[in-house]
Amino acid sequence: MLKQYFTDLAAYNSWADQKAMDWLSQITDEQWELVNKSSFSSIKQTAVHIASAEKIWINFWTGAADPVYLSANFTGTKNELLAIWTAASNGLESYINSHPEEELMRPVSFIYPNGNTGQMRYYQTFAHIVNHSTYHRGQLVTLLRQAGYSHFSSIDLATYHILHADLL
C-alpha cells in the first residue's frame, strides 16, 4: 500500500504540473517576466524554482555526480523551461513507478542550495518534493492572477482523486 500511495502522489504531481504548465503556455512574455512580490520575483522565477527542485531530487536519488540547481543558472526561454519541467515531472513519476518498495526507507543524501548537506529517507524526500511543488504551484496561481490570467481549474489533490477515481 505504501508504494501505491507514492505512485498516486507522483501521478497527481504530473497532472497538476501539466495543468500549471498549460496555464503558463498561454501567458505573454510580459506576464512571464512581470516583477511581483512573492517568494520569487516573477512567474518565471517561481516556475524555474519548481522545475529545478523536481529535477535536482531525481539527481539526488540517482546519485548523479555534481548535481546543479537549474535555478542557479537558467537563462533559457519559457518553452525551454517548460520542456525541462515536463521531463522532470515525468521523471519523478517514472522513478517511483520503477522504484522497489523495499527501497523506500533507504537514506538519500542531498545538498542544499547554500552548500550544506543533509540526509532523509527516500519516501520522505519524495513526499517533500510533491508537497514543495504543490506549495509553489499555489503561488503561481496568485502570481498569474496578479498578471491578469484567470482561466484556472482546480489542481488540488481531492480534485485529482475525484477525476481519476477507480474504486468509488
99 is in an annotated binding site: no
Show the cell assigned to 63: 546519485
The CATH fold assigned to 2-163 is Four Helix Bundle (Hemerythrin (Met), subunit A) (1.20.120)
Nearest CA-CA partner of 129 in 164, 95, 98, 162: 95
The answer to whether 151 is annotated as binding is no
pLDDT in tens, 48-64: 999 999 999 999 999 99
**Residue 1 pLDDT:** 60
Cell of 68: 546543479
pLDDT digits (tens, 9 = 90+) for 16-42: 999 999 999 999 999 999 999 889 999
pLDDT over 50 at 2, yes or no: yes
Give a three-class secondary structure readout of 91-120. HHHHHHHHCCHHHCCCEEEEECCCCCEEEE
Domain boundaries, the chain: 2-163
- The residue written with cell numbers 523551461 in the block is 81
Cell of 69: 540547481
128 assigned to a ligand binding site = no
Phi-psi region of 115 (alpha: psi -120 to 50; beta: other; left: phi over 0): left
Q: What is the pLDDT of residues 115-159, one digit of tens each?
A: 999 999 999 999 999 999 999 999 999 999 999 999 999 999 999
